[in-house]
Structure 1
Amino acid sequence: MNGVTVVDHPLVQHKLTLMRRKETSTASFRRLLREISTLLAYEVTRELDLTTMRIETPIMEMDAPILEGKKLVFASILRAGNGLLEGMLDLVPAARVAHIGLYRDHETLEAIEYYFKAPEDLENRLVIAVDPMLATANSAIAAMDKLKERGARNIRFLCLLAAPEGIRRFQEAHPDVAIFTASIDEKLNEKGYIIPGLGDAGDRMYGTK
């Protein structure tokens, strides 16, 4: 699909398979999510802008590459987004963090906002929004709306799994936002869950029902 990058690295796919297994424990699921998020962060940040700075190595001076511009922002779509956030901060510890509180109404499947807190000056920063699932896309679309309202102009969306239906709806609403995912699964079921999927990521991460 145009605008969608599937991260097919063998380690990503191996860890995703372990996460899908229903017998995987809460502790193992949480650990795997942190590990896989670091690998996904590597891909979603691949095209960050670089400049050079003059440094001195133990041998000589040189012009060495370094990230250019303001520090990027990881925007976690609560609550499950925090599972991806931790591993990404392992890779980019200086990143700023935004939190977007959304929950899905199980009757209407619509996203309900309850919290939003973000760094200032979003218009001059790359914002990477994270949520394990792109299912109906209601929460993701609402999160992008909110980030753009606050001035964000350069946004990428990172998830573990995406459904074709969710990708289509997301791209209709936000065609300028690139999607990065570990897998495009088959479809959504009648309850709006991804098939074959891995269940509710938040519940599996925190041991809730």
Structure 2
Amino acid sequence: MLGTPEGVKVVDHPLVQHKLTVMRDVETSTRGFRQLLREIAGLLTYEATRDLELTDVHIRTPVAEMNAKKLAGKKLVFASILRAGNGLLEGMLDLVPSARVAHIGLYRDPETLQPVEYYFKAPDDLSERVVIVVDPMLATANSAVAAITKMKERGAKDIRFVCLLAAPEGIKHFREMHPDVQVVTAAIDDHLNDHGYIVPGLGDAGDRMYGTK
């Protein structure tokens, strides 16, 4: 894929790229992978929240009174696609601890590669909040598309999607289904293999995070 596709932001900050390289390495431990995912999530969240609206407030510092900036509107919602999304979620909550959290339980059918929903829980007033949906991998994009469709059905209007890695095939499908949702990722890899895994990728993010196979 030449260039960066419309609606996709690749975060090429040196710290992001360094941490991603260590995460890709097959020799990186479960503990190391989990910690790096948490760290990189905060850096990706900086980019995904760059355009949040601010409002003026009057405060008093230890030295003087001043007008300053604070976030406007209701608190953010981080929507984690279970289970691997929780690895990113923890790092995002480190950055924005007051955010509300939604959980979307989806698993990929190994035969069809289509998402199957088994759980959904979210705040009621999604239409009044910025919603950031998170999942480490945008591979086929079937799960991400289903998750965002669900959030829209529940009223969400301002949605962003944050992932660690994306495949060109997944980006194409995602943009076809949700052209209004920006994708923030650390890298766009080469392609998907026959099993729907990103190549070169980093393997199954959930398995590497939790030490399962």
**Structure 2 length-normalised TM:** 0.97
**1:193 aligns with one of 191, 197, 201:** 197
Q: TM-score, normalised by structure 1?
A: 0.99
Residues 23-73 of structure 1 show CA distances to partners (whole Å, capped at 9, x for unaligned) of: 111000001000111111111111110001110111211111000000010
Indicate the percent of aligned positions where both proteins have the same amino acid.
Answer: 74
Structure 2 residue identity aligned to 1:81: G
Match of 1:80 in 2: 84
38-47 vs 77-86, which deviates more? 38-47
User: Structure 2: any 5+ residue segments left out of the alignment?
Assistant: none
Find the counterpart in structure 1 of residue 182 from structure 2.
178
Q: What is the distance in 2 between the residues matched to 1:31 and 1:106?
A: 28
**What letter matches 1:141 in structure 2?**
V
Q: Could you tell me which amino acid in structure 1 is paired with residue 46 of structure 2?
A: Y
Any idea what SS the aligned residue of 1:101 has?
strand
Does residue 143 (structure 1) correspond to residue 147 (structure 2)? The answer is: yes
Using the alignment, how far apart are the partners of 1:156 and 1:41 within structure 2? 10
**Within 2, Cα distance between the matches of 1:139 and 1:102?**
7
One-letter amino acid of the counterpart of residue 180, structure 1: V
Rounded Cα–Cα distance in structure 2 between residues aligned with 1:144 and 1:38: 21
Among residues 57, 63, 76, which one is paired with 1:59 in the alignment? 63
Other-structure match for 1:42: 46
Task: Tell me how far apart the structure 2 counterparts of residues 112 and 120 of structure 1 sit (CA, whole Å).
Answer: 23
For each residue in 1:63-87, what CA deviation from the matched residue of structure 2 results, as whole angstroms up to 9, or x when unmatched?
1100000001000000000000000
1:32 aligned onto 2:69: no
Matched, 1:131 2:148: no
Residue equivalent to 2:166 = 162
Flag structure 1 segments of 5+ consecutive residues without an equivalent. Answer: none
Three-state SS of the structure 1 residue aligned to 2:148 is helix
State the aligned residue count. 209
